[in-house]
Structures are given as structure tokens and as C-alpha cells.
Structure 1
């Protein structure tokens, strides 16, 4: 096997970047154990990549590590809560002898419609009417703009015909 050709084939770079296939990885690890040239080339490539990464690294702002440690300390000091336990009722069977409103929270409302304060109805109506007015204005000005653009084109063509030499 020609080790120099294998080193120059680019498989070592793929391996270091994590883009090598499983077969290429197994092959490289086998050759690494049996050929010192490949082992040295791989070591040099890995150290070069590490130096490059260190040179391009951006230092975090000062105090970042302290913030991380504080957050970790907060998480480790949060007490774990025990689950709530239900009390046994007076008669011992787990039923409460209390009113219904004390035991349960009413989830379903009596009506299926949303109730809105009367003042909000006027606000909603005003917003609806204003949106229609703005829509009408937008359409009007769009059509006016289109008509003005057409007139400009007509004037440009008329101006070109008057400037043309006879």
C-alpha cells in the first residue's frame, strides 16, 4: 500500500471533520494502527485543526462563567416538592362533606357565547368600520396610481415622438 497516496486522498480530512463514512473510518483506524506515517499525518492534521479553531475562537464576555455557575447553583438549591396528598373525609371513605363549590372549580360556563363588555362592542364596531374605510382608500389610491403611471407612459412616448428628428 502506498501510504503517501492514502494520506493525500483526503480521507484523513474527512475523518477529522466528521464527514467520513463508517467504512472509511474503520479503514483509517486500521491503517492508523499499522502504519506510523498515517498515524503521524493524522496527528499533525488534528493539531493543525485544533490550532486553527483556537485562533478563530471568540472569547466570551467577562463574567460569563460566574453567571453559569450561579444558574447551576440556583438549580441545585431548588427544593423538590412532594406531591399533594388528599385528606380522608370525615366518614373515612375519601368523600368530603363540603359544598360542591368548595370541592370543584367550575370549568364549563353556563353560556357558550363569549361575553364582552358593552363599551368594547362600540370599539370593535369602530375598528371594523375604520378597516373598511381604509380598505376603500387603499383601493382608490391604487387605481389612481395605476392611472397616473399609464398617463406618464403616454406622455413619455409622446415626448419621444416629438423629439425624434424628421
Structure 2
């Protein structure tokens, strides 16, 4: 196997990007130990991809890290014990928050839908029924027309005899 052709075959790129098959990975790791050229090419490819990622990355807006840190710190109450979860009746969880309990509904048997989607779904349902009725009507019309055509063909055959 020619090493230069193997390096240019794209196996190294698929390995670095995580899309290589198990067999390709096994073969690459074996050849990497045997040939320093493959190890050097793999290192160069990883370095190039890291450099490319740094150049095309977009830094977050100024103050974003502080905003995230403040949000996390607002969630953490110093000295507070971890919440105690107790499953009550009707699939509801009760969390101990200091001296009071907060009721949180864990699971619901109903799905909540925004009002606009309700109207859209109702319209889709009505249109579906209209299309179903139209399909049945045109199917029956087509069936009746096919019977008439068949009857006319038999009459023509009888007329020509």
C-alpha cells in the first residue's frame, strides 16, 4: 500500500470528523503505529481543523458570560438543602422550598395546544373530510363511467355483428 495515496484517500479526514467505519478506524490506528508519515499527516489535519474552527468561530456578545453566571447564581440559594421530592396523588411532585411546598405537575394526561393551533387543526380536519368526500364521489363517478363505457363497447360489438 502506498502511504501517500492512503493519506490522500480521505480516510484521515473521515476519522477526524468521526464518520469513519470501524474497519477504517482499526486500519488507520494500525498504520499510524507503523508509519510516522500517517501520524504526522493526522496531527497536521487535526491542527488545521482546530485553526479553521478558531477562525470561523463567532465570539459571544460582551457580558454574556456574566449574564449566564448571574442567572445560575440566582438559581442557587446559599445554605439551602437540596429539594426534597415526594410524589403525591395524581402524579404531582411536591418540592420543599424552605418552609413552603411548591406543587409541580409532573405528568399530565392532556396535551396543551396554543389556541391558534387548535383552529389550524380544526381547519385541517374539515379539509380532510371534504377531500375524503370528494375522493369517494369521484371514485363512484369513475366507476359508473367505466360501467357505461363497458356497456357501450358491448353494444358496439353487437351492432357490428
Query: Which structure dedicates a bigger proportion of its chain to strand?
Result: 2
With CA pairs under 8 Å and 6+ residues apart, which has the higher RCO, 1 or 2?
1
TM-score (norm. length: structure 2): 0.47
TM-score (norm. length: structure 1): 0.46
